[in-house]
Structure 1
Amino acid sequence: PRPVEGFEITNVTASAITVQWALHRLKHSTVSRVRVSIRQPGDLAERTVELNSSVAQYTFLDLQPGERYIVHVTTLSGLGMEDHPSESLATAPFHVWTKPLPPQNLTTSRVTATTVSMAWEQPPAGTVEGYIINVTTAQSVKSRYVPNGKLMSYTVRDLLPGQQYRLSVTAVQNTEQGQVHSEPIHLHITTLQRDGALERRWSQAGHPRVLRNRLPPAFLPELRLLADHDTAEEPSPAPRFTELVDGRGRISARFGTALSKSITVKTQPEAPVKLENVEVSSQGRLALQLREAKNKSEGQNCSTNPCRNGGSCTRDTKSYHCDCRPGFKGQLCELACKKVPHSCTRLYSETKSFPVWEGGTCHYLYRRVYKVHQDVCYKENCENTGSEKPTSRKPNNSHTLKKP
């Protein structure tokens, strides 16, 4: 007899697989029964059922979650229950994976005004590759895939106070035909309002809280004045000022109370005060005179060629300057500089699409992902050819070496 037509998998769950086919009235007039069998790879025994030709659908139950099954379908012809009926030609088997088990006992361990913490039981080892967490509101759906099969808790952040959300967690298993998703488990929650009484309920219920050094609000005197205009205003305490300077030269300031006066921040040091009538020792005075005489003689005359390392001296109207050879810098060409490569990193971003499953429909969300790229940078090391200490100039983060 002819094989069946239109064979397909109509439904797959964690423990059941439903198959469907079609028989044509004329083409399959000799077909009396349909044999459907299922087995797992490596198993010699298989589950077989023979159905009447009027049946076009069957469901295999009591299957293992997250396992691969092979399905065969064959048409039979013959009268009654013969021992050796005629069978159709063998068709290609169908490979089907049952869905993994969804997260068990999904609960919310804590709900605040902007965060929700969820927890569930740990699945058996090797059955889950990751989880898809969806956060749904009336206006939007946000999704994230966490590639960690051992995950047992997750905290959703950046929520709005007093907003209703529907949270869903879906288990993901990788197969040869791609990812297989379990049935999503849903939770409906409402975030808390920004109220101190609600926050105290968590502390009274035994949930640990972290105390932060936050200052009291500065609008309490205005509230008292609005309630009673005849009450005299109490003098406000002196403002407390805290200053922190980090290694990058940035200053962070925090004030204890609200200030009504402007604050001036000086980023540059004040000019040095000119000192008068300062006594200088005889040795110091002699060193200053020798240094001024040397600079004066060098500035007035370029014949001695004060430039070092083959630099050429050029006379100006008031002084001179040195034209240094390549590889040398400084006022007198006393610095021997060279480019030294070193490893560095460069941050760049790219846009990727992530699938979001909601109600059996796949949506795609686009997010910006930042990556770190290993690069080669160059810095300029200058060493004094004289008796002074070596100096180092700022690094040049370019691939092209500029000529000095």
Structure 2
Amino acid sequence: MPWLTAPQALALLGTKPQTLYANVSRGRIRAKPDPADTRRSLYSAEDVRRLAARPGGRRGSETIAAEAIRWGDPVLASSISTIADGRLFYRGRDAAHLSATATLEETAALLWDVPSPPRISSAEPGIPALSSALSVLATHAASDAPTADRPFAALQEDAGTVLDLVAGALAPGAAHPLHLRLAAAWDRPEATDALRRAMVLLADHELNASTFACRVAVSTGAPLSAAVLSGLATLTGPRHGGAWRAARAAVAQTAGDEQAIRDYLSEGRAIPSFGHALYPDGDIRAEALLESFEIPSPYAALRRISEEVFGDRVNIDFALAALASAHRLPDDAPLVLFALARCVGWLAHAIEQATSGGLIRPRARYIGPPPVRA
């Protein structure tokens, strides 16, 4: 079967790279690693030509707009983070390189564009719980000051307060760096460095679903606590912060047995923790995190065979599931890690949205019964 490079596929499709990657993610275009350079992918010429020749020619503006909200062009300008050439950057700094040494608090200072990391106060020792974070945010959202017309300095101060609230629920303990508090709360000191690295890598990821929800909320003037509550609620979905569960389920059912894995995959069971539309050559966040611990053998087997069968590499959701298994973390640990880390990014976007002003209000393309005038 003939294969095309990315530039060749894009030339035939007449689209931007994001659209090509989205079609791969949805199974419309088959892809595989390029044998000459495994950091890049090749794309099925048959699939590309089929999509390029679809009836109707150029799409109308309404269709383009409707598709753009799903892995399409960014709808908002932002200076916070971007994915370029297969790597993630925080305000121009390589996130994978940053994760080698930085803390989540230092990453917050970078993303919030402030001179020093926020100070996190101590909290009563306890068990990290997402329900506690949701509860405390809801309480404050009902009474906190709105973001509309607030000065930048006041928003920065509010951001520190909100992060402190979330940290008290998701990493309770003494006033130490958050990765140390999490490791202590879970009684896993050997996981400390991997937790630190994971949170830096998860701090922000451009305009993902939960970040968009956060920006929509703050665009109405809602408090930062309400905006983060919106982001946290969105994160809990199985197609976002809960995607790691699919990798854990596949490992549980196959137990690392090669034939069992092949049988599992042959049934057409999708594993959302493989492949990523924005990283056709592999999720750099997963690569950076997986380097920090020994991958349990059942996960290593699933990774090897799935990449061989489908060509898709593991993404950050797989890495989180493997991390939780490697260090025997609680069942909800990947989501707790994700939520605490991403709170930093949500607050950065909330501040940016609040200072830029403007209501985010897309239009609907009506497809219901024709309106009837009385």
If the length of structure 1 is used for normalisation, what is the TM-score?
A: 0.17
Higher RCO, Cα 8 Å, sep 6+:
2
TM-score, normalisation: structure 2: 0.18
Name the one with the larger strand percent. 1
| Higher normalized helix content (fraction of residues) | 2
